[in-house]
Amino acid sequence: MSRSRRKTPIVGIAKSESDKWYKVLWHRINRARLRGLLAHEQYDDADTDTPYNDWNAPKDGKQYLKSETIERMPELMRK
């Protein structure tokens, strides 16, 4: 595995490796909120399409790498 490389030059913008813990926490909070609304029979307030906001996450989105960047910093293409 020491020679494994990314097939597509897409990396996260910030230093964080993963957003998994943030996504788990966000969905847990959202499900708890919906359960509370449904328990009190407030069906009109139960907005199930609350969007997940990537920009609040620690990784802050993804970006394509330019070929100049890949040549200058090849470590970004490592897995």
| Residue 10 CA from chain centroid, whole number | 13
Q: Does 52 lie in the same domain as 30?
A: yes
Task: State how many domains the chain has.
Answer: 2
**Per-residue pLDDT in tens (0 to 9) along the chain, 79 residues:** 667 888 889 888 887 788 889 889 988 988 898 888 888 887 776 666 677 777 788 887 788 999 998 889 888 888 7
Structural domain harbouring 78:
1-17+60-79
Q: Does 76 lie in the same domain as 44?
A: no
Q: Does 54 lie in the same domain as 36?
A: yes
Residue 1: the pLDDT is 62
Q: Does 40 lie in the same domain as 25?
A: yes
Q: What is the pTM of this model?
A: 0.59
- Please list the residues that pair with 64 across neighbouring strands: 10
Nearest by Cα to 8 from 72, 70, 73: 70
Quote the CA–CA distance of 64 and 69 in Å, as a whole number. Answer: 10
Amino acid at 21: W
**Could you tell me the two tokens for 58?**
């620690």
Q: Does 52 lie in the same domain as 26?
A: yes
Residue 46: the pLDDT is 64
Residue 45: the pLDDT is 65
Task: Indicate the DSSP class of residue 12.
Answer: E
Residue 57: the pLDDT is 83
